[in-house]
Amino acid sequence: MNYVEDTPDLTTAIGTISEVHGPVVEVNCCRLPPLRQALSAELDGEIYMFEVHQHIDQHHIRAITLHETSGLYRGMMVYDSGASLHVPVTSDCLGRLVNIFGEPLDGGTPLSAELFRNIHAPPPGLSDTLETSGILETGIKVIDLLCPFAAGGKTGLFGGAGVGKTVLVMEFMHAISAIHHGVSVFAGVGERIREGHELWHEMRKAGVMPQTVMLFGQMDESPGVRFRVGLSALTYAEYLRDTMQKEVLFVMDNIFRFVQAGSEISSLLGRMPATVGYQPTLHTEVAELQDRILSTRKGSITSVQAVYVPADDMSDPAVNAILKHLDTTVILSRQQAAKGVYPAVDPLCSTSKLMDRHTLGDFHYTIAEGVREAMARYTELEDIITMLGIEELTEKDRLIVMRARKLQRYLTQPFAVTAAFTGMEGKSVCLSDTLDDCQGFLKGDYDDIPEKECYFRGTMKEIRP
C-alpha cells in the first residue's frame, strides 16, 4: 500500500509488553502482526510507537521503539495500527522542520495532511523509471569540472570529521533553489541537536528554507528513529516528485549513521555480527534505501549523501556498501583542508561516471584531463620540492607546478551559505566560465598573475575582464 487517505486505526489490541530491553520491546501477542507493522501503546495521553522487527515464536515478537522507553512497563497494552508507519504528506510541507512521524519541530502548526504515505513503499517499476539525464550544474567549480553530478543520480561526499561535508551539502541545496528552482528534502540522521539547530537557522538566513523540508532523527533518539528517518524523508521526496512533479534534491547527512543505527538494532535483536562487527544485513539495508532514489516521467530525485569515513579508511565495509550505488564520488581530503583549500575536494580521487567524451563533449573532457594531469604531476613532485627546492626541477616541471598551484587555488570558492562567517560574498560560477578559465591556466594565459590573486575567486574575469 503506497498511501491511505486517513490515519491508520490505532485501537485494535494485539497483546501486552512482556519485556523491555532498552529500545527493544518484547510483546506477548494473541496474533502475530507482520514484520514492519507499526504498533502503539498509550501512557498518560502520550502515544508510543513501535515497529515489528522479529518473530520469536508463535506468540512473541520483538519490536523497536520509535520513542523514548521511559515509562514503558510489563503488562502495558499494545495496539495494532493495521499498517506500517505512514507519514502525512502535503504541499504545505515545504519550509517545515519535522520529525520521523511528520510532526512539527519548528513550533509551527501540524501538517494538514492531504494523504498518508507508507515509508516502506516499494520503488517504481523498471518500466516507469528514467535513466540519469546529463550534468546537473551546481555552480561549484571543482565539482562541475572534475566530478560532475548526474541529474537524477546519486552522489556521495566522503570524508572524515571536520572536512566540510555539511557545508558542501548546504551549498548544493542553495544551488538547487537558486539555479534550478527545484526543491530539497534534507534528512538529518543522527545529527547532534546543536548541529541541527545551527543548520536550520543557517538555511533560513541563506533563503533556502522556503523550498526545503527538513526531517531530523537526532543522536539522542532511539536507533529505530535514526534507522527509519531516512525512509520518512525519502517518502516526502517521492511525494514532491510524483504528486507535485518537482525536481527534487534529496540530501542525507549522514548516511553512515543510518548504517550505525542498523548495526545497533541488529545487535539488540541478537543477530551474529558480520565483517568488522557490522550487521549481516548491511548490503540489503543500504540497497533498500538507495533503490528508491529514482527518476520517473513525473519528476526526478537527485541524491547527495554525506558519508562519514571511519578513521579516513575508504576500505571500511559500510563505506564500500554505499559506494556501489553511487554515480559520483566526491572525496574530501584532510590534506586539502590543512592547506586552506576549500571546498577540500581531492581532484585526483574524486570520480564520476559522466567523465567520458560522449557525455561531457571533447572540450570539457580535454580540459578536465589536462587539469588532472597537471595536479597529478604536481603531487609527484611535491616531495622533491620539499627536500631539494623547486629550483632543482626542470624548466618544464617548474612551469607545470606553477600552473597546478594556481589551478588548485582557482578551484577554491566562497560559498553563499558561509558568507555570514567569512565576510566573503558567495560565488556561483557557470560551467562554461570554469572551462574557459581552466583552459587559460593550461595555455599559460595567467602565468603572470600571482598565486594569491587566484585564491577564493569566482571567475578570472574579476582580475582580467
* pLDDT tens digits, one per residue of 197-207: 878 887 787 77
How far apart, in whole angstroms, are the C-alpha atoms of residue 464 and residue 445?
A: 10
Band of pLDDT at residue 185, cut at 50, 70 and 90: very high
pLDDT digits (tens, 9 = 90+) for 233-281: 999 999 999 888 888 989 998 899 999 999 999 998 988 888 788 999 9
What b/e string do you get for 425-449 counting C-beta neighbours within 10 Å, with b at 16 or more? ebbbbebeebbbbbebbbeeebeeb
How far apart, in whole angstroms, are the C-alpha atoms of residue 62 and residue 26?
A: 5
pLDDT digits (tens, 9 = 90+) for 301-358: 999 999 988 888 888 999 999 999 999 999 998 888 888 888 999 999 999 998 889 8
Contact 203, 214 (CB under 8 A): yes
How far apart, in whole angstroms, are the C-alpha atoms of residue 184 and residue 233?
A: 10
Residue in 31, 192, 443, 461 annotated catalytic: 192
Position 1 pLDDT exceeds 50: no
Helices 193-205 & 165-178 angle (0-180, nearest 10): 30
Q: Is 192 a catalytic site residue?
A: yes
Band of pLDDT at residue 45, cut at 50, 70 and 90: confident
Nearest to 339 by CA among 404, 395, 398, 421: 404
Q: Which three cell numbers stand for residue 403?
A: 600552473
Residue in 165, 246, 292, 403 annotated catalytic: 165
Position 8 pLDDT exceeds 60: no
Q: Is 165 a catalytic site residue?
A: yes
Asked if residue 254 has a cis previous peptide bond (ω within 30° of 0), the answer is: yes
pLDDT digits (tens, 9 = 90+) for 31-40: 899 999 999 9
Percent of the chain with pLDDT over 70: 98
Band of pLDDT at residue 11, cut at 50, 70 and 90: low
DSSP structure string for 14-47: EEEEEEEETTEEEEEESSPPPTTEEEEEEETTEE
Residue in 191, 221, 247, 264 annotated catalytic: 191
